[in-house]
Amino acid sequence: MSGLVRDLEGLLEARRVFAQQEDLLAYTNDATHRRVFPEAVVQPLTTSEVGKVLEYANRKRIPVVPRGAGTGLSGGATPVPGSLVLDMKRMRQILEVDQRNLTATLECGVVTQEFHKAVERLGLFYPPDPQSMSVCTIGGNVATRAGGPRGVKYGTTKDYVLGIEAVLPDGEVIHYGGKSVKMSSGYDLARLFTGSEGTLGVITKVTMKLLTLPPYRQSMVAVFGELDAAAETVSAIIAAGAVPSGLELLTKSSIETLEAFIPLGLPKDAEAFLLIELDGHEGKVHEDAGRIIAICEAHGVRETKIAQSAAEAERMWFARRALFPATARLAPNVLIEDATVNRTEVPTMVREIKAIAERLQITIGVSGHVGDGNLHPGILTDKSNPELMQRAEAAMGEIAKKALELGGTLSGEHGIGTLKAPYLEWEFGREGVQLMRRIKAAFDPNGIMNPGKIGAEWGGANV
């Protein structure tokens, strides 16, 4: 038994410490392709156990990689060599749903969809809906500022975090915020941890804002002969103020992929589809649906199809959620981009992605939460083919650069991780990145927390 394992078994139960290759294999990557074995994995059950492990790792200068469900798409939870992975899924209790204050306090390992179900049983609503929600954790969502289709109307995870409990690398526990919906005291540490991708400390508990459940929902699909027309329709819908609770774009290649996986009966010869959801009071939903159909018609829609039942609507959204697994069947590896632009730039960005695909002779399927300008180009590649991989990575870089040129951002919701760390200066300049690096060093002077994530050279002696 190695000294590390012996030491860890002194801190928490031996059956929650793993160091055998067959156990570690499941932790070698997130949903991206690069695999690195960690040295060991631990599964803490309490904040105090997280504190003990971090204090030990900090003293021994062992890199620590916090992990939720490992569904991240930017390499954030992929280990670094010699690291200790903190698997947070065992901290999965919903500690309180406060129906009078409309808040919930929960541990970081709660699965997002389980949280949805728990509050919806009480007539309450937690909107953020990453398409991985049946698996991903609230801690991972907070650490990446995750979004989802409902972001267009309700915002993303960052808009719901009221309070946070986190463990710093030296094992100290900090609390910031709580049930109070207003707070103007000091630096907003809850916001700072939100999107920190495990580089500042480990989030153990959060207090989230809740809403009341909308009484009525309606979903529809709009089928377009031209991709440009669909993209222009998105801008027109937003400009008209009929804000849907979901506004997703799927292109021809995405639909072909989906139809092969889950037949929905959508026309395969169409170029683009908008999947739209409206929620609120029934009368208002019908009124907005009418306005949206009129906008689609003004932009030459071929056909609109309204879901006739909750089951049919769920089937449409299930298909949308299945897009990534369906795409993953098409090629050995898929790089999912996350470039985000202002909503008015969606049509230009879609055209640019098509041009990049043609120039680099590579297949890119475009889909995304276009209602909030967030595109998810899926770049088909194969890591065993270095030449193809090079073109795929070049496409990622070009898409990221184009989004920034159009006034957008490198990541709308997946975070920077390792995949986009080399581009960080493009968005924030040298000064901006240096300031972030100094913030990181203030929290984590020994650079043990998730080194190499967000900043390519952050961590170890380089903090």
Ligand X SMILES: Cc1cc2nc3c(=O)[nH]c(=O)nc-3n(C[C@H](O)[C@H](O)[C@H](O)COP(=O)(O)OP(=O)(O)OC[C@H]3O[C@@H](n4cnc5c(N)ncnc54)[C@H](O)[C@@H]3O)c2cc1C
DSSP string, 52-98: HHHHHHHHHT--EEEESSS--SSSTTS--TT-EEEEGGG---EEEEE
| Distance of closest approach, residue 276 Cβ to ligand X, in angstroms | 16
Say whether residue 19 binds ligand X (CB under 6 A): no
* Alpha-carbon span 88 to 280, nearest angstrom: 35
| Contact pattern for ligand X over residues 273 through 312, marking x by CB under 6 A | ----------------------------------------
Binder of ligand X out of 70, 79, 347, 451 (CB under 6 A): 70
**Could you give the CA distance from residue 224 to residue 193 in angstroms, rounded to a whole number?**
41
Q: Is 51 in the site for ligand X (CB under 6 A)?
A: no
Asked whether position 110 contacts ligand X by CB under 6 A, the answer is: no
Does 77 participate in binding ligand X (rule CB under 6 A)?
A: yes
Give the shortest CB-325-to-ligand X separation in angstroms.
6
Contact flag: residue 453 with ligand X (CB under 6 A): yes
Mapped onto helix, strand or coil, the DSSP state of residue 206 is: strand
Query: Contact region for ligand X (CB under 6 A) — 134-142, 271-279, 403-411, 455-463?
Result: 134-142
Residue 364 CB, nearest approach to ligand X (Å):
17
Told to check if 246 binds ligand X by CB under 6 A, we report: no
- Nearest approach in angstroms of CB 298 to ligand X is 29
Q: How big is the site for ligand X, counted in residues (CB under 6 A)? A: 37
Residue 126 binds ligand X, judged by CB under 6 A:
no
Which residues lie closer than 8 Å to 22 by C-beta, 6 or more apart?
Answer: none
In terms of phi and psi (left: phi > 0; alpha: psi -120 to 50; beta: otherwise), the region of 410 is alpha
The neighbouring-strand residues paired with 106 are 94, 206
Strands in 120-179 per DSSP E: 124-125, 161-167, 173-177
Fill in the per-residue mask, 314 to 353: x = in contact with ligand X (CB under 6 A), - = not in contact.
----------x-----------------------------
The answer to the question of residue 50 lying near ligand X (CB under 6 A) is no
Query: In DSSP terms, which residues pair with 146 in a beta bridge?
Result: none
d(CA 455, CA 457): 5
**In this structure, are residues 77 and 449 in contact, taking their beta carbons and an 8 Å threshold?**
no
Residues 6+ apart with CB under 8 A from 354: 227, 364, 366
Query: Residue 62 or 289: which CB sits closer to ligand X?
Result: 62
Site membership for ligand X, residue 450 (CB under 6 A) = yes
Residue number with CB closer to ligand X (132 or 253): 132
Looking at the Cβ atoms of 144 and 219, the one nearer to ligand X is 144
- 136 near ligand X, judged by CB under 6 A: yes
- Distance from the Cα of residue 153 to its chain's centroid: 17
Strands of the 161-167 sheet, one edge to the other? 94-98, 103-107, 202-209, 161-167, 173-177
Stretch that binds ligand X, among 128-136, 170-178, 265-273, 303-311 (CB under 6 A): 128-136
Residue 30 touches ligand X, criterion: CB under 6 A: yes
73 touches ligand X by CB under 6 A: yes
Judged by CB under 6 A, the chain residues 149 through 168 that form the site for ligand X are none
Site string for ligand X, 183-222 (x = CB under 6 A): --------------xx---xx-------------------
**Residue 407 C-beta: closest distance to ligand X, Å:** 21
Question: In Å, what is the CA distance from 341 to each residue of 81, 369, 376, 441?
Answer: 35, 11, 11, 31
CA angle in degrees (0–180, nearest 5) for 365-367-371: 160
Whole-angstrom distance, CA of residue 364 vs CA of residue 9: 47
Q: What values do phi and psi take at 221, rounded to 5?
A: -120, 135
| Closest separation in Å from C-beta 285 to ligand X | 23
Stretch that binds ligand X, among 64-72, 169-177, 265-273, 306-314 (CB under 6 A): 64-72
Binding site for ligand X (CB under 6 A): 30-31, 65-73, 76-77, 88, 108, 130-132, 136-137, 139-141, 143-144, 146-148, 197-198, 202-203, 324, 413-414, 450, 453
